[in-house]
Amino acid sequence: MVEAAPIETRAIAAAARAGVAVPGLIFGVLAALPAAAVMAPENYLLALGTRIMTFAIAAAALDLIVGYGALVSFGHAAFIGLGAYAVGILASHGIGELLIALPIALAASVLFALATGAVSLRTRGVYFIMITLAFGQMIFFTASSLAPYGGDDGLTIASRNTLFGLPIFKDPRTLYYIVLAALAGTFFLCRSIVGSRFGRVLRGAKENATRMATLGFEIYRFQLVAYAISGALCGLAGFLLANANDFVSPAYMSWQRSGELIIMVLLGGIGTLYGPIIGAAVYLLIAEFLSQWTEYWQVIFGPFLVLVVLFGRGGLVGLFAQLTGKRHG
Amino acid sequence: MSSLLFVQILNGLQLGVLLFLIAAGLTLVFGVMDLINLAHGVQYMLGAYLAVTFYGLTGSFLASLVLALVATLAFALALELLVFRQLYARDHLDHVMATFGIILFVDQGVKLVWGAAPLSLPVPELFSGSVTLMGGLLYPVWRLVIIGSGLAVAVGLYVLVGHTRVGMLVRAGATNAPLVSALGVNINRLFMLVFGFGAMLAGFAGVMIAPILSVEPGMGDAILILAFVVIVIGGIGSIRGAFVAALMIGLVDTLGRSFAVDVLRLFMGPSPARTVGPALASMLIYVLMAIVLTLRPAGLFPAAGR
């Protein structure tokens, strides 16, 4: 640990430089993707890109509390599910107005986050991981038993949300750009939160909770608000996912899904906000291409994850920063 | 009604001791090495699969039990050497990601080797019948054997951990591993021992449950979540806590699933009761966990020094 310090310092400096360049590159590529869709069938590429970006929203939101608050939530898929089910349930009652569905999706996520966060945040470390898992499982089983809304089988959404009656989610290209805008909004919101006084308290509590408490901050409140913001953004991801898939099911909030979100954050690079976007893209792209190649793709993917943990500290972003940092130093 | 309740209590106990067998290893690994091992459930699954294979080869349940235990132990030690040894010094997030990768690998690997279709293992002939309980209800002997063997393991663990030198080191390791290492104990060997032993207990649970459950890929994942609930309620690192919490969870889950609808009918109509009942039953243990952690954030029996 100690002898690695100079490299780490250089890596941090490189990461700071990357903090401007990489997000610019990511959003540039994402914005240009539909135009470059000559190689693949356009709708396939757009659908894949949309899917990646919805999960990137959720992963970046998770990074806000994991990377900057050390609050490892193992139940974040629940918020995706809440956002998605808000769309599905309202649609099944014939309500397809975005201005109704989106606020309800966000409000449901915030309320669930405040209620469960109030209990979870009393615990620390491993206990926090496990209690968030428990709350995620509760929502999972609740959705599985919602017989009027499909139960285990899920719920097909007859028509996507509309804005003042305008079918804005209908065209795949428009949907793609709306999701891209949502991702950019999420990224810059989280970034400004991290840079604000609020974010500094959050990071301070991550480094040393006792010291922050001694300085007079009620860190519990800060963490609860951060948890609610993170939950709301995942609710937004769920809202978009339901509109893109025309379908919701309890599988959206299984514990495996929560685990995948954590892996996206770690794979890309924890505590960077743009790392998880890369992580979501890499995770879903590898899964997509390996599963086309062989049914047993997880036999390859599992060891890949283990190798990333063992040899790629700080995820892909950290790996990249270490390589460039070494070259410049 | 009362004899049905008795049967369900026995079923709850059976689930409880099964959970204890898995949770005991998990809580020791967690307590001593501070390692979150999501892949603990694959040992349980492997135990069941290996028993099926060895039964096909030898035709003897006892022989397949012994061989399966040896094989799960060997697999666990190989895994410890290759992966886990590098993980002890890392943080919990790294544990989650690496062991998640191992789950993906082993779950799919099992499909590759044994196929996706569920397999089954016959109940050993000696214990294949049923016994008559009060009220003329029949109860399978094998479930009683599971309860008995689980309780025997619990007693054995109590003696091993509480009253032997190795057990003392394990307890000391759960309290303060660096200090134990500084006192000259080979901590790596202790870790390997605890990890291998815990994995073997999970494998044992898998072999014992194989005759009454279908052996299928991913069977370890569902039970693993329950085992985590058990060790968190019991207090991480505490065998006694794991035992109490395992029986609690086993009974609450089983009785909840059997009687939730009936109980709810006292308060509401039969139709809403049938809808709400199963949902409430599957949630019950998580509600219990939330309540316990709200009142005691470190579980019922927190290990000393944590």
Give me the DSSP letters along A264-315.
HHHHH-TTSSSHHHHHHHHHHHHHHHHHHH-TTTHHHHHHHHHHHHHH-TTH
- Whether B85 and B201 map to the same domain: the answer is yes
Instruction: Give A173's Cβ-side CA count (13 Å radius).
Output: 8
Q: What is the pLDDT of residues B203-249, one digit of tens each?
A: 999 999 999 888 888 888 888 889 989 998 998 888 889 999 999 99
What is the rounded (10 degree) CA torsion for A213, A216, A221, A222?
-80
- Whether B289 and B227 map to the same domain: the answer is yes
A238 closest CA partner among A226, A251, A225: A251
Roughly how many angstroms between the first and final C-alpha of chain A, as a whole number?
19
Overall average pLDDT of the A230-244 stretch = 95
Confirm whether B32 is domain-assigned.
yes
Q: Please say whether the beta carbons of B7 and B137 come within 8 A.
A: yes
Give the C-alpha separation, A326 to A7, whole Å. Answer: 7
To test the contact with chain A by mutation, choose from B32, B38, B40, B96 the residue with the greatest count of A C-beta atoms within 10 A, namely B96
Overall average pLDDT of the A46-64 stretch = 93
Q: Say if the Cβ atoms of A137 and B225 lie within 8 Å.
A: yes
Confirm whether B269 is domain-assigned.
yes
Q: What is the pLDDT of residues A256-314, one digit of tens each?
A: 899 999 999 999 888 889 999 999 999 999 988 888 888 888 888 889 889 888 887 77
Single out the residue in B174, B209, B244 at which a domain terminates: B209
Q: What is the pLDDT of residues A66-114, one digit of tens each?
A: 999 889 999 999 999 999 999 999 988 888 888 889 999 999 999 999 9
Q: Say if the Cβ atoms of A142 and B283 lie within 8 Å.
A: yes
B 20-39: CB under 8 A from A:
30, 36, 38
- The rounded mean pLDDT for chain A is 85
| Type and span of the H or E element at A155 | strand A155-156
Output the pLDDT for position B174.
75
Extract the tokens encoding B20: 């204890």
Give the C-alpha separation, B232 to A74, whole Å. Answer: 14
Its domain, for residue B51, covers 27-125+188-209
Give the C-alpha separation, B150 to B250, whole Å. Answer: 13
- Whether B297 and B205 map to the same domain: the answer is no
How many domains would you assign to chain B?
A: 2
Q: Say if the Cβ atoms of B98 and A305 lie within 8 Å.
A: yes
ipTM of the complex: 0.83
Count of beta carbons in the 10 Å neighbourhood of residue B167: 16
- Whether B195 and B58 map to the same domain: the answer is yes
Count of beta carbons in the 10 Å neighbourhood of residue B93: 20
Question: Residue A165: left (phi > 0), alpha (psi -120 to 50), or beta?
Answer: left
To test the contact with chain B by mutation, choose from A306, A310, A316 the residue with the greatest count of B C-beta atoms within 10 A, namely A306
Output the pLDDT for position B306.
46
Confirm whether B138 is domain-assigned.
no
Chain B, nearest residue to A67 by Cα: B93
Give SS3 for B188: helix
Give the C-alpha separation, B104 to A259, whole Å. Answer: 12
Task: Return per-residue pLDDT of chain B as tens, 306 residues.
Answer: 577 888 889 999 999 999 999 999 898 888 888 888 889 999 999 999 999 999 999 988 899 999 999 999 999 999 999 998 888 888 888 898 899 999 999 999 999 999 888 888 888 878 877 887 776 778 888 889 999 999 999 999 888 888 888 888 888 887 777 888 888 888 888 888 889 999 999 999 999 999 988 888 888 888 888 998 999 899 888 888 999 999 999 999 999 888 887 888 887 777 777 777 777 888 888 888 888 888 888 888 876 654
Domain residue extents for chain A: 5-328
Output the pLDDT for position A150.
80
- Whether B80 and B114 map to the same domain: the answer is yes
- Whether B194 and B258 map to the same domain: the answer is no
- Whether B201 and B284 map to the same domain: the answer is no
Confirm whether B238 is domain-assigned.
yes
- Whether B46 and B115 map to the same domain: the answer is yes
Chain B, nearest residue to A142 by Cα: B279
- Whether B193 and B227 map to the same domain: the answer is no
pLDDT at A324 over 80: no
CA triplet B5, B9, B15: central angle to 5 degrees? Answer: 145
Q: What is the pLDDT of residues A12-45, one digit of tens each?
A: 565 566 667 778 788 878 877 777 766 666 678 8
- Whether B260 and B117 map to the same domain: the answer is no
CB pairs below 8 Å between A and B: how many? 128
Give the C-alpha separation, A220 to A216, whole Å. Answer: 12
Confirm whether B11 is domain-assigned.
no
- Whether B102 and B233 map to the same domain: the answer is no
Single out the residue in B178, B209, B240 at which a domain terminates: B209
- Whether B91 and B197 map to the same domain: the answer is yes
